[in-house]
Amino acid sequence: MMTYFLLFCLLLSHTEAKSIPHPSPHHFPLDLWPKDSLLPRPCPPLPPDHFWLVHTWPKGFCSNSSVHCPQRNLQDELTIHGWWPVDRKDSTLNNYRRVGPINYLFTGEAGEELYTEMKNNWPNLTSPIEYRYGHIAFWEKEWARHGICSCFEPRLYFGTALALKRNINISQALRANGIKPGIEYLRRRFVTALRRKIPRLSFAMRCGDKNGTKILIEIRVCTNETDAISCSRRLNDNCGSCYIKLVSEIEPF
């Protein structure tokens, strides 16, 4: 009798296990994530309210003494650090569970084109420029932490971020208003340059401090899926209200 009972329990548990859908990390949109899954959701169930497109000034980033940048010829151009989905309270939507690899995106002719565009516009500054795995590992980390919460599949997520960078083109806006590397400018000069291009642009600047000199590291821009937008709340900014320097070479701080 006990044998039949154990067999019945085993069969029941097997049937229940098969009835629980196991989500794929590429299952979108998030509101379709199986509600009865035993695995945690990768992100909150609501879609993003907006995004932060985080631009990095490479020489400013690499001036941070805690960062090792092996690349010698860093661009005088803002690159992408990440495109982060954000909720209505301006908190980033983060995922803390493991997801599958994305190296399949960079195979074949189309994959090589995407890889080249990503390496030029979204490089891993802490990896040698020719080290393919270092760049892909960085993009995979950004996808796993932020991208999966965007309600996009991976290729569309990266492609949309690249298109936003091209369309907003902060580097061109700074150059058009005479902001050049190696010189300190009043904060309002940066504000004027960016708002002249996009009048209602919401953005924040992040700086490092070198003996009182504010060295620009990042410019974070509020976006939707197609363009820069005005956010409802003030973004976190630490560059102060006076002078900010766009370094022309690495200046350790």
User: Six-digit token pair at 135?
Assistant: 């760049």
What's the average model confidence in pLDDT over 23-48? 49
- Whether 224 has a pLDDT exceeding 50, the answer reads yes
What's the average model confidence in pLDDT over 144-150? 95
**What rounded mean pLDDT belongs to the chain?**
85
Percent of the chain whose pLDDT exceeds 70: 82
Task: Determine the pLDDT at residue 85.
Answer: 97
Tens digits of residue pLDDT in 156-169: 999 999 999 999 99
Which of 226, 177, 231 lies closest to 204 in space, CA to CA?
Answer: 231
What's the average model confidence in pLDDT over 224-238? 84
- Whether 40 has a pLDDT exceeding 70, the answer reads no
Percent of the chain whose pLDDT exceeds 90: 71
Among 96-100, 101-105, 199-203, top mean pLDDT goes to 101-105
Number of neighbours of residue 200 by Cβ within 10 angstroms: 10
Number of neighbours of residue 51 by Cβ within 10 angstroms: 25
Class of domain 47-246: alpha beta
Which of 220, 217, 210, 212 lies closest to 251 in space, CA to CA?
Answer: 210
What's the average model confidence in pLDDT over 149-155? 93
Its sign, for the CA torsion 167, 225, 122, 216, is: positive
Tens digits of residue pLDDT in 177-203: 999 999 999 999 999 999 998 888 889
Spatial distance between the Cα atoms of 233 and 167, rounded to a whole number of angstroms: 23
Task: Check: CB of residue 239 under 8 Å from CB of residue 216.
Answer: yes
